[in-house]
Amino acid sequence: MLFRSIPLKQSHSESTAQTAFNDFFAATATLDDFETAFAPALEKALVKTPEAALAAASAFLSSIDRSTTTTSATLLELLPAILLQAKSLLAPVRAAASELVVTLYGTADAADVTPAAEIVYGPLKGGKTSSPDHRTTLFGILARLPASAALSPVLVGLTLSLLPKESNDVAIGAMMRVLATHLPAALDAGATLPAPQLAAFRRRLAS
């Protein structure tokens, strides 16, 4: 199958290898190939060689017209496997996971971004993150998702509610980036911010 030729299983994929067939894939990729070959191959490769798989997938998915070769449902099904790597102990793997999510949703429509964001912030909302690095990665992804009237108030409310509980400076920095991205849109949408959360936000700015 077409997608099985993508170098997902290499221990290290050079950028030239990742992009060598971009024009070919862009011209020939189909939805059936994506669902029956690429998606299953990516899920398996994420277990064996996650950093290489994530980098190659980002390069590949940047090259194709996802409006004709993927569906919103298919991408959402892949998202949990990608986000599992956001809790990796290895910084390059976490960074590659973040980049792949941003590749998929960084310029997507709000209708597609909102359900994806729910999966991203689920562990944060449920208190099920594994480490400060995990929280930093998830907040970093949320900070790079496009602001919207539907999503931004939710992210601002969540971030402000968790801000007083966070003690890791790097994670706090990522939370502040979420607010920088989404607070203006939340305010434009008429979101009401509770006074205790605003007070905590001001204390963090002053610290």
Cβ count near 51 (within 10 Å): 21
Element (H, E) at 82: helix 72-84
HEC sequence for 114-177 = HHHHHHHHHHHHCCCCCCHHHHHHHHHHHHHCCCCCCCHHHHHHHHHHHHHHCCCHHHHHHHHH
- Mind listing the pLDDT tens digit for each residue in 26-44? 555 667 777 887 888 888 8
- Mind listing the pLDDT tens digit for each residue in 178-204? 999 999 999 999 988 777 777 777 777
Q: Please report the sign of the dihedral spanned by the C-alpha atoms of residue 83, residue 23, residue 30, residue 144.
A: positive
Calculate the average pLDDT of the chain: 84
Are 110 and 153 in contact, with CB atoms under 8 Å apart?
no
User: Tell me, what's the pLDDT at 28?
Assistant: 59
Element (H, E) at 77: helix 72-84
Region of poorest pLDDT, from 9-13, 74-78, 136-140: 9-13
Is 80 exceeded by the pLDDT of residue 21? no
Alpha carbons 178 and 153: distance in angstroms, whole number: 11
